């Protein structure tokens, strides 16, 4: 296990109230896998991802444990965490334009990952930056290295971001919605690139997204978060093809637009996801769940093993249900 998260919780103090955004989740990530965290906005997926790298907001309070390569990441001084970010953990984000510093040439920013950690001299780092750009399949890497972020295209920027995240040779890449802002054709390129790099560099990837298509394409294992709690976690195939949790099932079916006959109603989940501080009692999904019963309203479902997956549901979808029939 490269990463092991136990009872991790994170929250904020707002107007004297403790608002828990992520409420006691546990999961493991194995070396070399692509672990996907799915969730809607407000589910706590990004907070979880950032906390793994020790980048939770300074105003947040945390509890539980996050162990990365047997090192406790929570409650570790930032100065030590800093040494891990870059050489051990790389991060990429949703919006590559604003995620790059607009006033520095791209190459310098990549090189900085190396120089800041004392991994290379300035000249050496600059050379390595160009190599990294080449590695992420950027044609004419020399030109791009000396270009400013606004001078290159969106796809190139995201490639440059990846180059920057991987420059110091981390084993874990946390990708927070890396494709969301990209156009369809670029998104495809990026997924392919990530897959190739993962193979070449034997990376472990934690991918955070709400795009089911992306999940389907890359996931080895999936964690489904709903309102700060784990709904379901397990192998991708099991979760995608035979979802047991009603939420997962609903997510999958509502995303299957191309499988729905044209102009017919899609399989939609009623209502909207609850916001921070407005999580319902019992099973947090129960107000929107078609299978909800009385116990769901009061008793929080415990996490249990269910086939190849672990899930938290009082009334899971029992039969190994093919996707088509999951549609009601």
Partner 1 sequence: MSISTQPTRRTIARPKGVLLPLALLVLVILAAFTLLPGLIAPHDPIALAMADRLKPPSLTHIFGTDEGGRDVFSRIVYGTRYSLGVAIAIVFASALFGVIYGAVSGMARQGIDNLMMRIVDLFFGFPALVLALAVAASIGRGLDSVALSLAIIWWPGYARLVRGEVLRLRERPHVEAARALGVSEMTILRRHIIPFVVQEVNVRVTTDIGYALVAVTALSFLGLGANSPTPEWGLLIRDSRPYFGSAWWYLVFPGTMIMLTATAFSLIGDALASRRAA
Partner 2 sequence: MALLELDAVSKTFSQRRGGRAVQAVAGVSLTVGKGETLGLVGESGCGKSTLARLALKLVDVTDGRVRFDGVDVTGFASRRMLPIRRRLQAVFQDPLASLNARMTIAEVMREPFDTHGVKLGAELETRIRELLSFVGLENIDIRKLPGQFSGGQLQRIAIARALALEPEIIVADEPTSALDPSIQAQIVNLMLQIQRKRGISYLIISHDLDVIGHVADRIAVMYLGIIIEQGTADAIMQRPLHPYTQALLSAAPTLAARRQVGWKRIMLTGDPPNPADVPSGCRFHPRCHLARDICREKVPPLRATPGTSQMVACHLAPDETAQAGAEVGRARRGLAVAS
Partner 3 sequence: MVIAFLLKRLVWGLVVLIAVAVITFFLSRVVPADPAAFLAGQNASEETVQRIRVEHGLDRPLPEQFASYMIGLAKGDLGESIRTRRSVSTDLKQYLPATLELLIVSFVLYLAVSFSLAVLAARRPGGAVDGAIRLVTMVGTGIPVFWLGMTLQFFFFYKLHWLPLGARFPIRETAPPVVSGFLLVDSLLAGSLSAFLASLKHLTLPAATIVVNLLAVGTRLSRAALIQEQSRLYVRTARGKGLSPNRILFKHILRNALSPILTATTMQFGYMISWVILVEVIFDWPGIGLYAYQSFQVFDYSPVIALAIVSTAGFVIINLVMDLLYPVIDPRVQSVGS
- Cα distance between the two ends of the chain: 38
Q: Which positions from 209 through 248 interact with partner 2, judged by CB under 8 A?
A: 210-214, 216-217, 237, 240-241
Residue 276 binds which entry of partner 3, partner 1, partner 2, none, with Cβ cut-offs from 5 to 8 Å by kind?
partner 1
Report the nearest approach of partner 3 to the CB of residue 34 (Å).
19
Q: What are the strands, taking DSSP E only, across the chain?
A: 3-14, 17-29, 34-38, 61-68, 71-72, 89-92, 172-176, 204-209, 221-226, 229-235, 303-306, 309-312
Q: Which positions from 99 through 118 interact with partner 3, judged by CB under 8 A?
A: 99-104, 112-113, 116-117
Q: Smallest Cα–Cα separation from 103: which of 165, 137, 150, 41?
A: 150
Contact 106, 152 (CB under 8 A): yes
Contact 164, 86 (CB under 8 A): no
Report the nearest approach of partner 1 to the CB of residue 95 (Å).
9
Q: Smallest Cα–Cα separation from 5: which of 42, 38, 47?
A: 47
Question: Exactly one of 60, 181, 212, 323 binds partner 1 (CB under 8 A); which one?
Answer: 181
Q: Smallest Cα–Cα separation from 13: which of 50, 62, 73?
A: 62
The 3-state DSSP composition of the chain as helix, strand, coil percent (nearest 5) reads 35, 25, 40
Part in contact with partner 3 (CB under 8 A); list of ranges 64-72, 79-87, 275-283, 312-320: 79-87
Residue 319 binds which entry of partner 1, partner 2, partner 3, none, with Cβ cut-offs from 5 to 8 Å by kind?
none
Residues that bind partner 3 (CB under 8 A): 53, 55, 78-79, 81-87, 90-91, 93, 95, 98-104, 112-113, 116-117, 148, 150, 161, 164-165
Residues that bind partner 2 (CB under 8 A): 40-41, 153-156, 183-189, 191-192, 210-214, 216-217, 237, 240-241, 250-252, 254-260, 262-270, 272-273, 275, 323
């Amino acid at each position: 296990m490269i990463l092991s998260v136990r009872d991790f919780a994170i929250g904020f103090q707002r107007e004297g109230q403790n608002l828990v955004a992520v409420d006691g989740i546990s999961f493991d990530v194995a070396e070399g896998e692509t672990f996907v965290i799915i969730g809607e906005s407000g589910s706590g997926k990004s907070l979880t991802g950032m906390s793994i790298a020790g980048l939770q907001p300074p105003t947040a309070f945390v509890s539980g444990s996050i162990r990365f390569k047997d090192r406790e990441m929570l409650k570790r001084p930032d100065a030590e965490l800093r040494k891990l970010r870059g050489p051990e953990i790389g991060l990429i984000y949703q919006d590559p334009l604003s995620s790059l510093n607009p006033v520095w040439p791209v190459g310098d920013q990549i090189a900085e990952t190396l120089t800041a950690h004392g991994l290379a001299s300035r000249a050496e780092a600059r050379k390595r930056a160009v190599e990294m750009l080449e590695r992420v399949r950027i044609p004419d890497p020399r030109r791009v290295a000396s270009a400013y972020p606004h001078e290159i295209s969106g796809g190139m920027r995201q490639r440059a971001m990846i180059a920057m995240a991987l420059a110091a040779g981390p084993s874990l890449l946390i990708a927070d919605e890396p494709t969301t802002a990209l156009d369809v054709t670029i998104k495809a390129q990026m997924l392919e690139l990530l897959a190739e790099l993962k193979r070449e560099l034997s990376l472990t990837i934690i991918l955070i997204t709400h795009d089911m298509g992306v999940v389907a394409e890359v996931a080895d294992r999936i964690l489904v978060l709903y309102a700060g709690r784990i709904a379901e976690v397990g192998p991708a195939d099991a979760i995608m093809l035979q979802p047991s949790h009603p939420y997962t099932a609903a997510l999958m079916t509502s995303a299957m637009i191309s499988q729905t006959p044209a102009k017919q109603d899609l399989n939609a989940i009623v209502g909207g996801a609850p916001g921070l501080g407005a999580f319902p009692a019992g099973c947090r999904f129960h107000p929107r769940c078609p299978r909800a019963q009385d116990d769901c309203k009061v008793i929080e479902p415990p996490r249990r093993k269910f086939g190849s997956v672990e899930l938290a549901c009082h009334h899971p979808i029992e039969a190994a249900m093919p996707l088509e029939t999951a549609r009601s």
